[in-house]
């Protein structure tokens, strides 16, 4: 069967060889964690502990504030030593809770349950209770997706196993090493949604994952494993939906508008662990790769410093020129190493200074390559020119707010124009104006 795909996109060098075959390694508990209250899209969680408090692994240290929010849990046992603004991977200081490890490993988990013992409503509440968010990078609170607006119904749940960003292999390893949890997590999501239609989309450069999950899902005819063409951004939810189901999410719309919910592989595994062990979201798999001596896939407690991950991988191989949290297409470059791993930290990519090329941009040559590759059917060249002319209204009319910032346009531009960076800046400016006028 021919691998499914979407129109547009780019073919990249994926650079996954260093870690694709490396099993997940449990990194030792850190001596200290820093847990920001903002690890998700939506309202920041509200700190509910004080300096001097003793906490166990799994205790809530910051409660969700509102429906579109997510609680934060202690990832180690110990004493709260600070509550206040700390550096955040998003580039600004954010309120955070600092915990010093007492070495006890004490937990406050509830007992695990069988999936059959939980109703759909209880599963949605469980998602909320454990602070579950999209762990592929978006960080949207998962439970919100399972409460569709009035008049909408979830008909299909899709797990994103594409992992189309270069260098990252954390989801690949979860699919290979913990397939039963992947399937259980999907089954739980389907039950929460009230549907019997489930898919897992996997790019064909992960044949071991396709084979293992096909066997793991064999006993549940409701779940289909779908091979996908190796192309970026195959894992973007609108592209994934179109490739698997043929449905098109309307411009300005959401997957639920076509009856679909998309979740990440790590999100499904975390939900499965909450069912089986009562464990909230306190750790995640992080691919540490690039210019490090021993690239690895690590299971890391949230709040661990990025510098500790690099040290655990035996340090840099040369002089680092750029460090990216996530993948190179969408992950933000960082200016410091004392940043905490958060719920959306899928990777730590170190690029050697010799790999970094600072290209000088030139005027648009109207080649339309960016139009050809844009998976959202936009005209990035015209949007960029409108922004440069200061005409944000024109940029809006050209559909700038439908851009998901995948970076395909910038990747193919022969004039080296920073199109996606320009679009990000303009979108933030448009959003600020709308907040000011509301």
CA angle 65, 71, 76 (to 5 degrees): 145
**Could you tell me the pLDDT band of residue 380, with boundaries at 50, 70 and 90?**
very high
Question: pLDDT (tens digit, 9 = 90+) per residue, 320-331?
Answer: 989 999 999 999
CA–CA separation, 11 vs 9, rounded Å? 7
Domains and CATH numbers, the chain: 115-277 (3.40.50.11540), 369-437 (no CATH)
Sign for the pseudo-dihedral over CA of 183, 185, 191, 194: negative
Calculate mean pLDDT across residues 292-307. Answer: 98
CA gyration radius for the chain? 21
Question: pLDDT (tens digit, 9 = 90+) per residue, 121-154?
Answer: 999 999 999 999 999 888 999 999 999 999 999 9
**Could you tell me the pLDDT band of residue 1, with boundaries at 50, 70 and 90?**
low
> Cα-flanking dihedrals φ and ψ of residue 32, to 5°?
-150, 145
Looking only at the bridges linking them, the beta strands covering 320-325 and 223-228 are unpaired
Calculate mean pLDDT across residues 40-62. Answer: 97
Whether omega for the bond prior to residue 233 falls within 30 degrees of 0, making it cis, is yes
Q: Which pLDDT score, from 0 to 100, does residue 264 have?
A: 96
Percentage of the chain lying above the pLDDT 70 cut: 100
Q: Which pLDDT score, from 0 to 100, does residue 238 have?
A: 94
Q: Which pLDDT score, from 0 to 100, does residue 357 have?
A: 82
Task: Please list the residues that pair with 47 across neighbouring strands.
Answer: 62
Q: At what angle do helices 170-177 and 179-193 cross, to 10 degrees?
A: 100
Q: How far is CA 74 from CA 58, 66, 197, 345, 365, in A?
A: 5, 20, 35, 17, 52
Q: Which pLDDT score, from 0 to 100, does residue 299 have?
A: 98
């Amino acid at each position: 069967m021919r691998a499914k795909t979407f129109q547009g996109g780019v073919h990249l060098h994926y650079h996954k060889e260093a870690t694709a075959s490396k099993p997940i390694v449990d990194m030792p508990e850190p001596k200290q964690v820093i847990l920001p209250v903002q690890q998700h899209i939506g309202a920041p969680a509200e700190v509910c502990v004080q300096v001097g408090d003793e906490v166990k692994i799994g205790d809530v240290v910051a409660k969700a504030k509102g429906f579109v929010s997510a609680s934060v849990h202690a990832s180690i046992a110990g004493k709260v030593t600070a509550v206040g603004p700390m550096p955040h991977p998003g580039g600004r200081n954010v309120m955070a809770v600092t915990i010093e490890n007492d070495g006890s490993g004490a937990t406050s988990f509830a007992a695990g349950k069988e999936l059959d013992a939980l109703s759909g409503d209880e599963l949605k509440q469980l998602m909320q209770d454990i602070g579950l968010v999209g762990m592929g990078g978006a960080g949207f609170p998962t439970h919100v997706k399972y409460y569709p607006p009035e008049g909408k119904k979830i008909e299909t749940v899709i797990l994103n196993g594409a992992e189309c960003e270069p260098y990252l292999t954390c989801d690949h390893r979860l699919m290979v090493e913990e397939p039963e949890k992947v399937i259980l997590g999907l089954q739980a999501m389907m039950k929460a949604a009230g549907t019997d239609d489930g898919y897992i989309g996997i790019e064909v450069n992960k044949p071991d994952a396709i084979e293992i999950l096909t066997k793991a899902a064999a006993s549940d005819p409701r779940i289909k494993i779908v091979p996908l063409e190796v192309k970026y951004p195959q894992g973007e939810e609108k592209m994934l939906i179109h490739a698997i189901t043929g449905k098109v999410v309307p411009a300005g719309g959401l997957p639920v508008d076509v009856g679909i919910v998309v979740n990440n592989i790590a999100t499904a595994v975390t939900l499965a662990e909450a069912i089986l062990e009562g464990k909230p979201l306190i750790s995640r798999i992080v691919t540490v790769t690039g210019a490090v001596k021993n690239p690895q896939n690590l299971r890391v407690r949230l709040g661990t410093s990025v510098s500790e991950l690099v040290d655990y991988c035996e340090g840099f191989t040369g002089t680092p020129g750029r460090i990216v949290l996530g993948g190179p297409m969408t992950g933000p470059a960082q200016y410091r190493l004392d940043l905490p791993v958060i719920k959306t930290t899928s990777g730590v990519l170190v690029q050697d200074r010799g790999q970094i090329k600072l290209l000088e941009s030139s005027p648009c040559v109207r080649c339309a390559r960016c139009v050809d590759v844009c998976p959202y059917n936009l005209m990035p060249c015209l949007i960029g020119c409108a922004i440069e002319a200061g005409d944000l209204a024109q940029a809006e009319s050209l559909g700038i707010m439908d851009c998901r910032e995948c970076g395909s346009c910038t990747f193919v531009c022969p004039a080296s124009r920073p199109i996606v960076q320009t679009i990000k800046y303009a979108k933030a400016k448009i959003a600020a104006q709308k907040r000011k006028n509301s």
